[in-house]
Structure 1
Amino acid sequence: MTDQLERGPARTAHAGVLLSSVGERGVLCDFYDEDGSDTYRDLIQDSDGTLETREFAARVPGDPGPVLELAAGMGRLTFPFLELGWEMTALELSATVVAAFRKRLAEAPSDLRKRCTVVQGDMSAFALGKRFGAVVISSGSVNELGEADRKGLYASVLEHLAPGGKFLLSLELTKPVDAEPVERSQELSGRSGRRHVLHVKILPSEEIQEITIYPADETADPFVVCTHRRRLFTVDRIVRELGQAGFDVVARKPFASTGGGRDDMVLVEAQRS
């Protein structure tokens, strides 16, 4: 991606306080780089994407043919798609995450392995030499891209859609952002049983969300502090950009990404104009 927020891990204000308090035990990394991969796998690898997958599948009745998933990560959605019998190409930028994905795929049943191709690539500029009946991108991924890279994403998707193909995006159902910065923290349990603290700070003036993840155990050694910064924008903005890029948005459906029942996501369905 060419217009990332910054190179290397972001030293958020909260990360700075934590690192100062733990001294030499502290390690700063981005959530998606090699040093952060253990935390990423602990929190993300087995997270359940079933409900989100069902929403995507409901917009693609029957056999969609080859499906391309962008920013596939560790396969949170890819593996449920494979369970549906779909033929998947999973594109992911991070070499560390791709290696972990391939390891996970190697342990899957042979039928799933045969229907999945993993590609390391940039979702804002890719050329795969084939077309797909559907291109999907899951929640939060578009927020990684600046304006120029989002234009690259839309152009690349158009080049890879088969006639009648669909571009499906799940987007966070955003609320109006307060004028002042907002912070919140919560504890999360990883697949290993380790506890992590997730701290989120929203910076309205910059339209940025700062994420800091660190051990709940203050004595951890090393004390790995993972950070990440994401852009904030509304569903309406993405819909408007899709229209400008040459898509027709044919549906916008709110849904709940967890079992809580509260709609927190929107699935946007677009086709070539």
Structure 2
Amino acid sequence: MTSPTDTVPALGRLPGRAGALLAELGDRAELHDLYDEAGSAVYHDITASDTHEVRELVALVRQSTGPVLELAAGSGRLTLPLLATGRHVTALELSPGMLAALDERLASAPVRLRERCTPVRGDMSRFDLGQRFGAIVLGTTSVSLLDAPGRAGLFAAVREHLAPGGRFLISTVDDALPGNGVEGEDGEGPGSDENVYELAGASGRVYRMHEYWPSGATTRKVTVFPGDTDGAQDGPVPVFTSSIAIVPADLLIDETTVAGLSLVARHPLPTGGARHRDVLLEMEVTA
């Protein structure tokens, strides 16, 4: 995890235009991991109203029976819609900051939803909850946070926690969009190494997210700046960053097969970004 007191030379290690902007900010920049305590608040603000993959996940969960386990629950972007299906949801999350945001979100939710949720602090790569679930959900392409050994631990734990006939639902990158690695005339677009998105948070704050992903790279670097960085004159400027692995669907299918899980279906999801499509994999324990 990166310290918010990093010096300018450390900041300069960030690639592309994000690195150049950090250099311009100099010692005013405060660099945080996107998933530390400060970053969790920003992540929650950005994703609170994001509906990407929600409809598809909820529809598949409705076809299952029994309680639901949500892995890497974060601040609850998927948790509340899953609770609305009428199921009990165990929301497992490692980050204390994310769990605090989830607790805050649940506190303002209707009692009928809040009473059906059990937040648990835990590592999705190794967990033992002592029960089985009709559906286990890992959304938001969060499998990208794990390395190969971590994914192996995840799949082994999922297999032990799925009830007979249960479903494991996991979203990931499907493939790169055409033009990957060929920069457009404006330096952005489907084929450029770096794309910048303007995002509006639930709070009304505006952010600029830089996604740096060179052709052939196995990770992409995401860096989030306040939207008013150019106009800021004084004071510290918080910047949030994370390296996200690229875990293609075909690789996940191969790994889960080894772990004793079988693919039931691939469900296409709306485009996940300028450079890739996402897919929702539906799996079951191998008979």
Aligned residues: 262
* Deviation (angstroms), 1:108: 1.0
User: Which residues in structure 2 correspond to 1:78-93 (within 5 Å)?
Assistant: 78-93=79-94
Aligned CA distance change for structure 1 residues 187 and 179 (closer, same or farther; 3 Å)? closer
Structure-1-length-normalised TM-score: 0.87
Structure 1 distance, partners of 2:231, 2:113, is: 41
Contact 2:271/2:278 (8 A) holds in 1: yes
Which residue in the other structure is 1:182 paired with?
193
Which residue in the other structure is 1:32 paired with?
35
Which residue in the other structure is 1:231 paired with?
245
Which residue in the other structure is 1:134 paired with?
135
Contact 2:176/2:277 (8 A) holds in 1: no
Please give the secondary structure, in 2, of the residue aligned with 1:59.
helix
Structure 2 distance, partners of 1:186, 1:62, is: 35
Do structure 1's residue 207 and structure 2's residue 223 form an aligned pair? Answer: no
Gaps in structure 1 of 5+ consecutive residues = 1-6
Comparing 61-70 with 206-215, greater Cα deviation is found at: 61-70
Higher relative contact order (CA 8 A, sep 6+): 1
Structure 1 distance, partners of 2:56, 2:133, is: 19
Please give the secondary structure, in 1, of the residue aligned with 2:86.
coil
Which residue in the other structure is 2:72 paired with?
71
Structure-2-length-normalised TM-score: 0.83
Which residue in the other structure is 1:3 paired with?
none
Which residue in the other structure is 2:14 paired with?
12
Do structure 1's residue 270 and structure 2's residue 271 form an aligned pair? Answer: no
Structure 2 distance, partners of 1:59, 1:48, is: 15
Please give the secondary structure, in 1, of the residue aligned with 2:175.
coil
Structure 2 distance, partners of 1:106, 1:191, is: 17
Please give the secondary structure, in 2, of the residue aligned with 1:173.
strand
Structure 2 distance, partners of 1:268, 1:142, is: 12
Which residue in the other structure is 1:98 paired with?
99
Which residue in the other structure is 1:250 paired with?
264
* Deviation (angstroms), 1:204: 4.1
Contact 2:64/2:167 (8 A) holds in 1: no
* Deviation (angstroms), 1:20: 2.4
The percentage of aligned residue pairs carrying the same residue is 43
Gaps in structure 2 of 5+ consecutive residues = 4-10, 184-191
> How much is the aligned-residue C-alpha RMSD, in angstroms?
2.4
**1:133-166 superposed Cα distances (whole Å, 9 cap, x missing partner):** 1101103201111100000000010111111111
Comparing 175-184 with 13-22, greater Cα deviation is found at: 175-184
Aligned CA distance change for structure 1 residues 62 and 244 (closer, same or farther; 3 Å)? closer
Contact 1:19/1:27 (8 A) holds in 2: no
Contact 1:179/1:205 (8 A) holds in 2: no
Structure 1 distance, partners of 2:222, 2:250, is: 24
Contact 2:32/2:240 (8 A) holds in 1: yes
